[in-house]
C-alpha cells in the first residue's frame, strides 16, 4: 500500500474551521451532505470534552460520518481494511462481513471513516445502541451477573463494535480521531466495547482505549466460537 499522503483530496470541500460533526457530513466520496436522520444530534447538548475531534490538521477534512447506507456501499473495501488491520484469514473475514451487514440495521448505527487522498478508506469504525435481544449485548449482559452492573453499563449504552486502521497508517492518531467522533455523537450515558485480552502495554488498541478513559467492566471472558479471551471495557460519556 502506498504511504498515506496528507494532501487535499479532489472533490472534498474544505471546512477546516468546522467542528465535526457539525451541520454536515460527507458522503462516501467525500461530498458534504446535510445531516441525516439516522444520526440525530438535535435536542442533544454537545458533549464538550469529546466534540472537538483532534484530527491532525491536514486530516480534518478526511474524517467523515457515514450512514449505514453509505457504509453498505463500501462494505467490501471496509472489510479489506479490517482484514489488513487484523490479519484475518478468509473465514474470519467472511464472518466479519456477515456481521457488518447484520449490524447495519441496528438502532442508532453510526459509522466513521478516515478517507485518503482519493477517498479510499484508510480506517473505519462503527457502533450502535445496545438493546436487549442483540447478540453482543446479551453476551455482555450474561457476563454481568449483578443486576446493578448491567444497569450501570448496558441500560443506556452504545457499543464500539469495529475500529480499524490500515497498518501503514496506524500510530498517527487516526484511530483516536474516529473513536472520539463516534463517542461525540453517541448520546448515551455509557460506551462499551469488547476487545481481545492481550498485554495491554504492547497493544495499540488497549493503549488507545485506556487513553480514552475506558476501564475494566469484565475481564477474561469467553466468546462462543472464538478461542481467545475477551475483556469488556466501558466509560461514561459526558
Q: What is the largest CA-CA distance in the chain?
A: 53
Min CB(28)–ligand COA separation in Å: 20
Query: Is the peptide bond prior to 218 cis by the omega test (within 30 degrees of 0)?
Result: no
**165 near ligand COA (CB under 6 A):** yes
CB distance 185 to 168 below 8 Å: no
Which of 173, 189, 197, 235 touches ligand COA (CB under 6 A)? 173
CA neighbor of 125 nearest in space, from 70, 82, 96, 87 = 82
Question: Which residues from 43-72 bind ligand COA, rule CB under 6 A?
Answer: 56
Question: Closest distance between ligand COA and the C-beta of residue 58, in Å?
Answer: 10
For residues 94-117, b (16+ Cβ closer than 10 Å) or e, as one string?
eebbeebeebbebebbbbbbbbbb
Nearest CA among 16, 21, 8, 6 for reference residue 178: 21
What residues between 182 and 211 interact with ligand COA by CB under 6 A? 195, 204-205, 207-208
Residue 220, C-beta contacts closer than 8 angstroms, at least 6 positions apart: 197, 229, 231
Nearer to ligand COA by C-beta: 81 or 119?
A: 81
Catalytic residue among 88, 126, 128, 209: 209
- Find the binding residues for ligand COA in span 68-127 (CB under 6 A): 85-86
- In the annotation, is 209 catalytic? yes
Q: Which three cell numbers stand for residue 96?
A: 466479519
- Among residues 16 and 147, whose Cβ is nearest to ligand COA? 16
Q: How far is the CB of 187 from ligand COA (least distance, A)?
A: 22
Residue showing the smallest CB distance to ligand COA in the complex = 175
**Pairing label, strands 25-26, 226-236:** unpaired
Site for ligand COA (CB under 6 A): which residue of 51, 163, 182, 232? Answer: 163
> Residue numbers of the site for ligand COA (CB under 6 A)?
56, 85-86, 163-165, 170-176, 195, 204-205, 207-208
Amino acid at each position: 500500500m502506498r504511504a498515506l499522503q496528507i494532501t487535499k483530496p479532489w472533490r472534498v470541500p474544505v471546512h477546516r474551521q468546522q467542528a465535526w460533526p457539525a451541520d454536515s457530513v460527507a458522503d462516501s466520496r467525500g461530498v458534504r451532505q446535510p445531516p441525516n436522520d439516522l444520526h440525530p444530534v438535535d435536542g442533544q447538548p454537545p458533549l464538550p470534552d469529546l466534540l472537538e475531534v483532534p484530527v491532525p490538521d491536514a486530516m480534518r477534512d478526511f474524517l467523515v460520518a457515514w450512514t449505514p447506507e453509505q457504509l453498505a456501499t463500501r462494505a467490501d473495501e471496509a472489510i479489506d481494511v479490517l482484514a489488513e488491520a487484523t490479519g484475518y484469514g478468509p473465514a474470519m473475514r467472511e464472518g466479519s462481513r456477515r456481521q457488518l451487514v447484520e449490524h447495519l440495521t441496528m438502532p442508532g448505527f453510526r459509522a466513521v471513516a478516515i478517507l485518503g487522498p482519493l477517498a479510499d478508506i484508510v480506517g473505519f469504525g462503527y457502533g450502535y445502541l445496545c438493546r436487549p435481544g442483540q447478540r453482543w449485548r446479551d453476551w455482555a449482559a450474561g457476563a454481568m451477573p449483578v443486576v446493578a452492573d448491567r444497569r450501570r453499563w448496558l441500560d443506556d449504552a452504545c457499543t464500539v463494535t469495529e475500529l480499524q486502521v490500515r497498518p501503514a497508517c496506524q500510530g498517527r492518531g487516526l484511530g483516536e480521531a474516529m473513536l472520539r467522533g463516534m463517542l461525540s455523537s453517541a448520546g448515551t450515558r455509557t460506551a462499551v466495547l469488547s476487545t481481545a485480552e492481550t498485554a495491554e502495554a504492547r497493544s495499540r488498541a488497549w493503549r488507545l482505549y485506556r487513553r480514552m478513559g475506558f476501564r475494566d467492566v469484565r475481564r477474561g471472558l469467553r466468546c462462543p466460537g472464538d478461542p481467545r479471551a475477551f475483556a469488556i471495557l466501558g466509560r461514561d460519556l459526558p
